A and B are shown apart, each in its own frame.
Chain A
Amino acid sequence: NAGVTQTPKFQVLKTGQSMTLQCAQDMNHNSMYWYRQDPGMGLRLIYYSASEGTTDKGEVPNGYNVSRLNKREFSLRLESAAPSQTSVYFCASRARSGQGNYGYTFGSGTRLTVV
């Protein structure tokens, strides 16, 4: 089925370790997003990419970097993980405003624990 695929689904890191969360979409969407979800906080935007080759900061970018590798893939990197980055991470993509079925499609999430 078409959609947004995130890997891995679960990860445990030690403080100071690095890792990259992968996201790929097969809907030919231009815009892609990374969110984090914390209890009682809803989802907060970390970074987004409006098109291939561009990235911009969202609400909570500190401690993260992103790469828009091509139109399909948008990765999120933690260079030196901290316990405060323990969260569930969601990737999303969006159809363009002119496209018929405007909306955001979310991946199933990556549950990250930093110890």
Chain B
Amino acid sequence: AQSVTQLGSHVSVSEGALVLLRCNYSSSVPPYLFWYVQYPNQGLQLLLKYTTGATLVKGINGFEAEFKKSETSFHLTKPSAHMSDAAEYFCAVRFSGGGADGLTFGKGTHLIIQP
């Protein structure tokens, strides 16, 4: 079955440090890739997406992600963490081919920012 794996259910970084949230997917066919952020008791907000074209994608709030086909990865980064980045982050994939439509989500990574 196609799956999305986010390494680390919790990631803690210091304010000003690099943020790296990892996402790997299982598919030999390049899918569409998304990162969403969820603040407490709120819905999902799209950070960025990759569909086609440039593999380095820039999103909102200074985040970016790079699609690496050979590694089946789509890791999310931000050069300098801010306290307001504390939230839950979800990697999601729309797999190509047959099967159910819709996004397959990773289990999420809770980002903690230490002052």
Contacts and interface: CB of A to CB of B under 8 A. Distances in A.
A56 B103 CA distance: 14
B34 A50 contact: no
Interface residues of A, number: 24
A44 B103 CA distance: 9
Nearest to B43: A108
A44 B43 CA distance: 15
Contact of A104 (B34, B107, B108): B34
B43 A106 contact: yes
Interface stretch (A17-25, A35-43, A66-74, A75-83): A35-43
A104 B103 contact: yes
Interface string B35-52: 010000011101001010
Nearest to A31: B101
B115 interface: no
A104 B101 CA distance: 12
A42 B100 contact: no
A59 B43 contact: no
Contacts of B105: 35, 42-44
B31 interface: no
Given A40-B9, A103-B46, A108-B42, A45 B34 contact: no
Given A56-B101, A59-B100, 8 more contacts: A33-B103, A40-B108, A42-B90, A45-B100, A45-B102, A50-B101, A104-B103, A106-B44
27 contacts: A31-B101, A31-B102, A33-B102, A33-B103, A41-B107, A42-B90, A42-B106, A42-B107, A42-B108, A43-B90, A43-B105, A44-B105, A45-B102, A50-B101, A56-B101, A90-B44, A102-B32, A102-B49, A102-B51, A103-B46, A104-B34, A104-B92, A104-B103, A106-B36, A106-B43, A108-B43, A109-B43
